[in-house]
Structure 1
């Protein structure tokens, strides 16, 4: 299956006027970035350690509202060496959270002509519910392969046995929802889990590496083919993190370590020039990183159309 040529694509419904998928090549590897929708969250989640005036100034400079804004939710599908790999699985549908514009992944995969049964491997950057949720939607498991391999850091699975939320800064209800989703996911998919320690090659040129920080087992995925490189950074990088990598995101379980990881990865990306995609950088989230004084600058890729 070539992710650039999906003859079974379903015509977009009227409410799908905004593009929700974007395809590119990384050498011989096919990559498809799919939007799972947007997640409205309070702007304090961007930087709960920043002075309110500094946060307000950044939002003003970015022409964003001061109280809440829409966080992108991006998922990636990769085709390499005869394997079809889904990297993260979106939010799903938790009725208690009332987030109707998120959790779009299943219908958008269908619209792209991607059958859930064709997915051979699932890679999880971590087990927050906006990365595992679609797997918990009623009926989804029935469409997955019985031999589906789910790659996740062993430290991440261990963490969710008794998660520590003492250093996060989340809206009410989120910690309980995160615990419940991770517990249910582990129970339902235990036999599919393929834990790794620090690094694991999932398919030719597709390597998952544990970074920690955001969660103890948080990982990034690096794609390499020929001279082309791309990193899916999961939640290591947020939109505000280029200019202010030391600002703490409310979902980070170890904020100081998350900031160190963020700076290290951004420096690597700036040095290598490889492409970046991240879960919460606005769709299609494809770009490169440049050094900008003591901080960084995101350089969006030119759309190919």
Structure 2
């Protein structure tokens, strides 16, 4: 059952009750992204026709918060001191202080998911939290020469991003705990490998009472283009072709299962279902949201 927060607080956080486990979505803000980041190689007129606008993308950053027993778990850490960056303030609005966070589980290490780990002076934002990141992701970004040849982004841009990521990973080294495979991190959180967007990108199956839902991370960044054309992809995909193949496979599986899905960048508050639409797919927001 979906339960709304008070009207004045909807922009800050949203409450989803999962029995003994309390589930929140905290708003880290919307961030503008240039149209050129999406569907590289596709005519801009085709992209604008699907979106019915030529304006740049504005993507939400939805942070899932899981409270169970003595654990307070964040799924990703948001954009921090960059654009957006509302996580800490909105957590406090929801009654959660940064020092109460026990764990942060990262879907992957792109800056809009990890910059919220540290302040501008590189001090930890969540000083008591263990930070969980996949071995594959850590190894790739810490590599002396990561392979960017399968991306459609400029190598110089990716190299600059890698340096930012390495700086954050170094600043959080003492709190990092690496994982790999599908062994549950807790009794309610199972990793599901979904490489392509990044080499160590993971989704997470989250148990809520006798049901589960899937946090699909950055499988899809918007609710229109990548559902209708999963192969169009983004310049953020480190392995463009693999990301497209994984996106199609994940969307097909979710459409078949009818499972509740949560998306980091999908329309607030991020819950919905994937529905088959011929050879493509549609995003159907949770009707109670």
TM over 0.5: yes
Q: CA deviation at 1:229?
A: 1.6
Q: CA deviation at 1:141?
A: 4.5
Partner of 2:285: 300
Q: CA deviation at 1:178?
A: 2.2
Partner of 2:68: 80
TM-score (norm: length of structure 2): 0.88
TM-superposition CA deviations, 1:58-109 (whole Å, max 9, x none): 121xxxx314131111111111243111110001124xxxx3xx11111111
- Tell me if 1:282 matches 2:267: yes
CA change 1:32–1:18 in 2 (3 A) is closer
- Tell me if 1:48 matches 2:40: yes
Aligned length: 283
Counterpart of 1:189 (choices 172, 176, 187) is 172
Once the two structures are superposed, the pairs formed by residues 53-64 of structure 1 within 5 Å of their partners are: 53-60=45-52
User: Are the equivalent residues in 1 in contact too, given 2:12–2:93 (CA < 8 A)?
Assistant: no
- Tell me if 1:129 matches 2:117: no
Partner of 2:245: 260
SS of equivalent residue, structure 1 residue 160 = helix
TM-superposition CA deviations, 1:20-73 (whole Å, max 9, x none): 31111235432111121111111122211323332121121xxxx314131111
CA change 1:164–1:92 in 2 (3 A) is farther
- Tell me if 1:30 matches 2:15: no
- Tell me if 1:231 matches 2:219: no
TM-superposition CA deviations, 1:112-133 (whole Å, max 9, x none): 1111111111100011110011
Q: 2 CA distance for matches of 1:52 and 1:138?
A: 36
SS of equivalent residue, structure 1 residue 220 = strand
Q: 2 CA distance for matches of 1:143 and 1:125?
A: 18
Q: CA deviation at 1:153?
A: 0.7
Partner of 1:215: 198
Structure 2 segments unaligned to the other structure (5+ residues):
none
Partner of 1:118: 100
TM-score (norm: length of structure 1): 0.84
Partner of 2:135: 154
Q: What root-mean-square deviation, in Å, do the aligned CA atoms of Structure 1 and Structure 2 show?
A: 2.6
CA change 1:103–1:168 in 2 (3 A) is farther
TM-superposition CA deviations, 1:236-289 (whole Å, max 9, x none): 122222111111111000111111111222122222222111111121111111
